[in-house]
Amino acid sequence: MTVTRRAALAALVFAAVTGCSVFGGDGGTEPGERTVVLVTHDSFTMKQEVLDEFRASSGIRIDVRKSGDAGSLTNQLVLTKSSPLGDVAFGVDNTFADRALSADVFVPYRSPDADKGPSRYSIDDTDRLTAVDVGDVCVNADSAWFAGRGIPVPASYEDLADPKYKDLLVVQDPATSSPGLAFALGTVAHFGGDGWVNYWGKLLANGVKVTSGWEEAYTQDFSGSSGKGPRPLVVSYASSPAAEVGPDGKPRTSALLSTCFRQVEYAGVLTNAKHPDDARKVVDFLLSQPFQSNVAEQMFVYPAREDVPLPASWQGVAPQPSNPATLPEEVDQAWLITLWRTAMDR
C-alpha cells in the first residue's frame, strides 16, 4: 500500500469512528414535544416501549440521567438543590430520604394514584416523596446445598449465628454496599440499639464473610449462583430467586423471609425544577399501570401499587415478604458504620 493510500485509509477509519461521536449528540426532540429530565440511580431500567408509549400519549420525552447509587443520588440532589440536575428524581430510598427531606430537595405533590398502594409507604406528611417500588433485602439460601446435606435451611437472624451454620454466610460491608447497609439496619431493627453490635460479634464468631460489594458476595462466594462459590447463604434481595430458576422451572435458591429489611424507593418533583408541571406528570407515570407492572422484571423490585400483579415467573419463587423490618428511628449511618467497624475489628 502506498503512503498516500494508507493515509487516506487512516482518515477514513478515523472519520468512521468519530463520525457520530457523542460530541453534539443529544437525543433529539420531535417538534412540539417537551423534555423532562429524570434524575435517577444506576439501577434504573425500563423497557423502551413503556417510555415510548408515555412519550406518544403525553408529548413528554423523559431524559434519563443516572447518577450512581441511591446514596450518591441523594447527595447529588442535596448539593445541586439551587440548580437541580433535572425536574424529577426517582430512587431516593428510605435509608436516605431523611437527608433529602431535611435539605428540602423536593416539593410537595400528591399523585392521584398514590391512594392505590403507594401511600402505605409514605414517609413524609407533606407528600414530598411518593413511593414507587419496594425491594426487600433478605438472606438467600442455596436450597440444593442444604437439601444435599440434610440440614434445614436457617430461618431467622438467630439461626445465622448458630454454630450449625458456621462459615456459611457471606454479607456485604454496610459502608460500601446498599444491601449490606440494609441487612445491618435489619439487625438494628431486630435486636435494638444495644443488641445488634453484640449480634454481629456472634456472626463474626460464626465465620461470617464480609465483602465490599454485592457482586463478589453473590456471583463468587454464593454457591447458589452461576459462580458456584463455597457459601450457601448470602445477603441479597427477596426477588433474587426469580433470576435463579433452573431449566425445570424450579428455583435453585430461596429468600429467608424473616431476615428481610424493606427498602422503599421514592420519586418526587425537585425544588427549582424547570418544568414542574410536566415533572408531576412523570411522577404520575411512575405510578401508572404500565410502569408499575414492569418494575418487577426490569428492576427486581415489588411495585408500590396494590392492583398490579407480580409476573408469573415470580409467583411462588419470589413472594414478597409479609413482615419485613423497616427503618429504625434515628439511625445515623456514620454511627452505624463506626459501631459496625468496631464490632468487626475484634
Unique residue bearing C-alpha cell 454496599:
177
Are 229 and 221 in contact by the 8 Å Cβ rule? The answer is yes
x/- binding map, residues 56-95, to another protein, per CB under 8 A? -------xxxxxxx-xx-xxx-xxx--x-xx---------
Q: Choose which of 53, 98, 127, 216 interacts with another protein (CB under 8 A).
A: 216
**Residue 197 binds another protein, judged by CB under 8 A:** no
Nearer to another protein, 58 or 72 (CB): 72
From the list 255, 265, 98, 89, the residue with the least C-alpha distance to 183 is: 255
Cα of 89 vs its chain's centroid, Å: 14
DSSP assignment of 11-41, as one string? HHHHHHHHTT-STT------TT-EEEEEEE-
Contacts of 254 (CB under 8 A, 6+ apart): 140, 141, 143, 153, 241
x/- binding map, residues 24-63, to another protein, per CB under 8 A? xxxx---------x-x--xx-x-xx--------------x
Helix, strand or coil for residue 264?
strand
Are 92 and 67 in contact by the 8 Å Cβ rule? The answer is no
**Residue 244 binds another protein, judged by CB under 8 A:** yes
Nearer to another protein, 114 or 255 (CB): 255
Cα–Cα distances (Å) from 302 to 31, 69, 131, 257, 296, in that order, read 36, 18, 11, 14, 5
Minimum Å gap between C-beta 293 and another protein is: 13
Residues touching another protein, count (CB under 8 A): 79
Unique residue bearing C-alpha cell 454511627:
335
**Residue 219 binds another protein, judged by CB under 8 A:** yes
Nearer to another protein, 111 or 294 (CB): 294
Nearer to another protein, 253 or 259 (CB): 253
Minimum Å gap between C-beta 283 and another protein is: 20
Q: Which stretch binds another protein (CB under 8 A): 150-158, 224-232, 256-264, 275-283?
A: 224-232
Interacting positions 246-305 with another protein (CB under 8 A):
246-247, 252, 297-298, 300
